[in-house]
Structure 1
Amino acid sequence: MPRNPKIRRTGATTAAERVAAAYRCSHCHSTTGGTWRDRHGIQHLAVAHDDGCPVLTGALPDAPDALRAAVTAGCSAILVAWPPKGGAA
């Protein structure tokens, strides 16, 4: 896959790592945590949003930001899930 100049150079190799490198919340100064692959082979990415971020509180989805990161990372598919209203359990 050709390298996308918009991705921070982090040595990202998996799709989740590439999305993590490209992810930016448009509502706060979030940071991306680790990436991991579960027992079914599905890649996961943790995002830590700032306290009070409307994405963290469940008022807004992070789907637009996640989709933007996936497109920037050159991924062909992404599944987005956000915490339930009221924040992470």
Structure 2
Amino acid sequence: MTPRTPREIIAGLADTYHCGDCRSDPPELREIAPEIFVLQIGHADGCPVLVGAVSDRADLLRAIDRAS
């Protein structure tokens, strides 16, 4: 199996991440420098994740699991 590039790994995460509370907009992936990526997740106004009332850790772990 060929190792995946950082771009492939983060793109897989972007494709599989969904907020369990608001279902969020599709994440926007940007490369701000060579091999440095920003994944911007657009949560709905009032989403408990957006306002910090709950963690997105479980959603993130699910996305990592699906992307791998």
Normalised TM-score (structure 1): 0.60
Equivalent residue for 1:41, pick from 6, 12, 35: 35
How many matched pairs?
63
CA distance in 2, matches of 1:26, 1:33: 14
Q: Which runs of 5+ in 1 are unaligned?
A: 2-12, 75-89
Query: Which residue identity lines up with residue 32 of structure 1 in the other structure?
Result: P
Higher relative contact order (CA 8 A, sep 6+): 2
Q: How is 1:45-84 mapped onto 2 (pairs within 5 angstroms)?
A: 45-74=39-68
**RMSD of aligned residue pairs (Cα, Å):** 1.8
Q: Comparing both structures, which one devotes a greater share of its residues to helix?
A: 2
Q: Where in structure 2 are there 5+ consecutive unaligned residues? A: 2-6
